[in-house]
Chains A and B, each alone.
Chain A
Amino acid sequence: MSRAALLVLADGRFPAGGHAHSGGAEAAVRAGRITGAASLEDFCRGRLHTSGLVAAALAAAAALGVDPVALDAAADARTPSLALRVAARRLGRQLARAARATWPSAELDALAREFPKGAHQPVVLGVTARAAGLGPEDAAYCSAYESVSGPASATVRLLSLDPFDATAALARLAPELDVVAHAAATAARRVLDEGVEVLPAAAAPLLEIGAEAHAAWPVRLFAS
């Protein structure tokens, strides 16, 4: 395995379409819940410990080789918002395209056949990590980091926030990213013996509610 593969996968320039999504930041900015660096950090912290943890655990479990179909169903049950399920599948399909070109693998091919409209993005991310020779911790870190880096870079554009301030907020979240990635990988290992129901199911009501409001806007900068 190459450790540097993690850098390729986690790079914001990896062509998987993530830049078109704000992770709920656009709705939160419009509602006045994110107004600057401090509220962005608190938004990211909340997202990290809820949908970020769930996504990281799904990715880690997929990286361990847990059945992607079972993981995808678990992701559906943990994503009540239809708008967020649609966004997750769209992102999953885009990631699968990029991943199959980058790290060709029979498992990625099988996943694309099973889910022609896209599987949930964290599941695809985990299978991709596996194809890249990475492990469950790597997949969990990558997914947990995406859960906060997406809203941070979107907020820089939405509020013309100083990029230094946004990056400093991400750096302050680093110790909590460690905790979440570790918890996600631990939960993923339990799935091997106990099934997908032991995956975390942490919910963030305002992310779910904001996603439905956002999907109803006629004009928006980000897809979700």
Chain B
Amino acid sequence: MTTAGVRATARIEAREDGRGGTSLPVLEGQGPLALRRVRGSGPEARVMLVGAMSGPLGGDHLTVEARVGPGARLRVGSAAATIALPGQAKGEARYDVRLDVADEGELHWLPEQLISAGGSELSVAARIDLGTDARLVFREEQVLGRVGEEPGRLTSRLTVRRDGRVLLDQELACGPGAPGGWDGPAVLAGHRALGQLVVVRPEFEREQPAARPLGEHAALTPLAGPAVLVTALAPDALALRRLLDAALSDLT
């Protein structure tokens, strides 16, 4: 018997409500992707992504789309880590994130970790399109394997465009079947938690934070545009989060 994977798309649309706040005219979950509006502060709307089933499993194709209109402010988090697991359906699972932030909109995308469990095969892709004066904080954390477990196969692509021009394009492949050397001294060197933090602010056009190492296995670097990237490796998810939180609070 073959089981088809789950296909589900969740959609969020945030708009400036004209009274100094942000409304959510679209907030639609589907299948394993449930969305909840939670209490926000000031002009910002907050949304929590709640996993209503385990997954993604092999063969699943999940998509989350968020659009932030001009002047709107949205913060998205998730209630728990996402765990990629092997499924009954053949083939890899896909998890796509499409984020659009219009001119003068602001998005904070701060979900919990993605854990690549042994035997899973997952391809994640985040595509972010920003308007000229859009602001972004985007965090992505991956944990390779649960405690004491070999990781699954994980491919992760992150593309950030601003004004249609590509600001950042990165792909990382790791786990069984990934191209050679992925766990070696040039790529991960045995680290099992990796993260990226992208911060885009129009004021970086005038003054960009300087490149600097953040300890031995992390660094902040200005991109070729008004943005910085923090890349961090750590032994575990907790140490990784501490690094990224410290880097973010240094920027504010």
Which range contains the number of B residues in contact with the other chain? Answer: 35 or more
Could you tell me the distance in whole angstroms from the C-beta of A90 to the nearest C-beta in chain B?
15
Inside 8 A of B223's CB, which chain A residues have their CB? Answer: 76, 80
Nearest to A39 among chain B residues (CB) is B185
| Chain A interface helix/strand/loop/mixed | helix
Using CB atoms and an 8 Å cutoff, list the residues of chain B in contact with chain A. 157, 159, 165-173, 179-182, 184-189, 194, 211-213, 216-224, 229, 231-233
- Which residues of A lie under 8 Å from residue B159 when comparing CB positions? 197, 201
Are A77 and B211 within 8 A (Cβ)?
no
Within A59-116, which residues are at the interface with B (CB < 8 Å)? 73-74, 76-78, 80-83, 85
Tell me, in angstroms, the Cα distance from A220 to B17 when the chains sit together: 56
- Find out whether the CB atom of A213 lies under 8 angstroms from the CB atom of B189: no
Indicate if the CB atoms of B212 and A50 lie closer than 8 Å.
Answer: no
Stretch with Cβ within 8 A of B (4 or more), from A10-18, A27-35, A126-134: A27-35
Partner of B211 from A48, A81, A204 at Cβ < 8 Å: A81
How far apart are the CA atoms of A39 and B159 in the complex, in Å? Answer: 31
Ordered by A's residue number, 8 sampled pairs between the chains whose C-beta atoms are within 8 Å are: A45-B181, A46-B186, A50-B181, A80-B223, A80-B229, A82-B222, A200-B171, A208-B219
Q: Known: A28-B185, A209-B233. Contact between A201 and B169, CB under 8 A?
A: yes
A205 touches B211 (CB 8 A): no
Tell me if A178 is interfacial: C-beta within 8 Å of chain B.
Answer: no
A201 to chain B, nearest CB (A): 4
Least distance between A2 CB and chain B CB atoms (Å): 33
Q: Check A31/B216 contact, CB under 8 A, given A77-B166, A206-B186, A212-B221.
A: yes
**Which of A31, A34, A74, A176 is the one whose CB lies under 8 Å from B169?**
A74
Interface residue from A74, A203, A206 paired with B185 (Cβ < 8 Å): A206
Hey, which chain A residues are within 8 Å of B186, CB to CB? Answer: 24, 28, 42-47, 50, 204, 206-207
Known A49-B179, A82-B211, A216-B213; contact A203-B166, beta-carbon cutoff 8 A = no
- Are the C-beta atoms of B219 and A201 separated by less than 8 Å? no
Question: Do the beta carbons of B185 and A50 come within 8 Å of each other?
Answer: no
| CB-CB contacts below 8 Å: A166-224 with B | 176, 197, 200-209, 211-213, 215-216
CA distance A28 to B216 in the complex (A): 11
Contact B212 A85 (CB under 8 A): no
Contacts of B169 in A (CB 8 A): 74, 77-78, 197, 201
Q: How far is the CA of A43 from the CA of B180 in the complex (A)?
A: 10
B184 near A45 with CB under 8 A, answer yes
Across the interface, name the chain B residue whose C-beta is closest to A183. Answer: B179
Find chain B residues with CB under 8 A from A205 CB: 172, 187-188, 194, 231, 233
- 13 new A-B contacts at CB < 8 Å, known A78-B170, A205-B233, A207-B187: A39-B184, A46-B185, A73-B165, A73-B224, A85-B224, A201-B170, A204-B186, A205-B187, A206-B186, A208-B219, A209-B217, A209-B219, A212-B221
